Amino acid sequence: MTTVSTSAFYDRVNLDISTLRSRAEALQASIGSGQRLTRSSDDPVGAARLRTLSRADTFSAIDLSIAARASSDLRLTDSALQSFAATTIRAQELATQAANGILTPAQRNGIAIELNQIGKELVRLANTRDSADNALFGGETTGDAYGFSPGGTLTYLGTATAGELPLGDGQSVVRGLTGPEVFEFDAGGGPTNLYTVIKTLADALGGVTPGVDPIQAARDAMGALETGLETIATQQTIVGTRLNWIDLNTERRTQMSELRAEEQADVGGTDLAEAMSRLQQTMTVLEASQASFARLSSLSLFEFLR
């Protein structure tokens, strides 16, 4: 005969009910926090995946701010290029007027004064600052992009390249344009720059350089300014393409982060419907065992022996 001792009965009921209770509590915790995993050892592989995903999220946030930075620098470059173009067009108008033979020397002198101002404005524009207060057209230099040598010639002080900014996942974008890319071009059989062209024209019109035909100088300058304007237009196209590239990357990053969020929810999130139904099931079993325990434990032979 198998006898079941009273203490064994209580112990077993205790074991069963406390197991059910702890299972219900674990389910409740997972529903309450929305997280399936409370510690890595709940699912080591899933936890490792979640770590990688959250690392990717961290880097994605940085990529986003870098892309915003690159984008704002390129927009600043774009607006500076527009100012360049407007200024150059004004210089072109003045050169066209000066090429007209009926102007008096005094009138040409007036044009020369305005051209000198335009030249200075171009230098100031070339030294525009970017969002981090560095020279927009200076490449990776920390100082001004352009300066004057002791002889009065305009000199480029920046570095040869503008430097690249990473956009994440191995993609990068060149952050801006260097001065020579915008400012310098070949005209009249040799390399020159916008400032030199305008300065030379102003000097010729103002009679600073003697023995030069001002009308011929104005005609030469018109051709050179045309080339300069074309260079600026080309660079505007390049800036537009780069902005487009950043937008493309941002779009891709958004899609990637959506995928990541989805995977995070899949791996680490609680399936509410499943968790709720399992909790309900556990609670039903728990209630049933509590009720049956209450009935069984009230059954004692001592109650009936009088």
Going 225 to 136 to 129 to 143, the CA torsion angle's sign is negative
* 15 forms part of the interface with other proteins (CB under 8 A): yes
* Cα–Cα dist 114/202, whole Å: 8
Q: Which is nearer to other proteins, 99 or 243 (CB)?
A: 243
What span, in angstroms and rounded, lies between the C-alpha atoms of 35 and 293? 34
| b/e per residue 41-76 (b: at least 16 CB within 10 A) | eeeeeebebbeebeebeeebeebbebbebbbebbeb
Q: Which class for 104: exposed (0-12), middle (13-18), buried (19 or more C-beta within 10 A)? A: exposed
* 294 binding other proteins? (CB under 8 A): no
Which one of the spans 134-142, 212-220, 256-264, 287-295 is the region binding other proteins (CB under 8 A)? 134-142
- Choose which of 66, 98, 202, 225 interacts with other proteins (CB under 8 A): 66
Question: For other proteins, how many residues bind (rule: CB under 8 A)?
Answer: 45
Radius of gyration of the chain, Cα coordinates, nearest whole angstrom: 39
Are the C-beta atoms of residues 64 and 250 closer than 8 Å to each other? yes
CB 40, min distance to other proteins, A: 3
Closer residue to other proteins in complex, CB, 73/203: 73
Measured from the CB atom, the residue of 39 and 211 that comes closer to other proteins is: 39
Compute the least distance from the CB of residue 151 to other proteins, in Å: 24
Q: Which is nearer to other proteins, 102 or 299 (by Cβ)? A: 299
Task: Spell out the alpha helix ranges (H) of the chain.
Answer: 6-33, 44-98, 105-126, 179-183, 194-206, 214-268, 272-297, 301-304
Q: Which is nearer to other proteins, 87 or 282 (CB)?
A: 282
**Residue at 116: amino acid letter:** N
* Closest by Cα among 174, 176, 183, 175 to 155: 183
Of 7 and 149, nearer to other proteins (C-beta) is 7
SS3 149: coil
Candidate list 18, 33, 52, 82; residue touching other proteins; CB under 8 A: 52
Q: Which of 32, 39, 102, 189 binds other proteins (CB under 8 A)?
A: 39
Q: Which two tokens stand for residue 234?
A: 């080309």
| Residue 149 makes contact with other proteins by CB under 8 A | no
Asked whether position 129 contacts other proteins by CB under 8 A, the answer is no
Q: Does residue 61 touch other proteins according to CB under 8 A?
A: yes
Is residue 104 involved in binding other proteins (CB under 8 A)?
Answer: no
| Three-state DSSP class for residue 134 | coil
From residue 152 to residue 171, the character string flagging contacts with other proteins as x (rule: CB under 8 A) and all else as - is: -------x---x-xx-----
Contact with other proteins (CB under 8 A): which of 17, 47, 285, 286? 47
Residues in touch with other proteins (CB under 8 A): 2-8, 11-12, 15, 39-45, 47-48, 51-52, 54-55, 58-59, 61-63, 65-66, 69-70, 132, 134, 140-142, 159, 163, 165-166, 300-302, 305
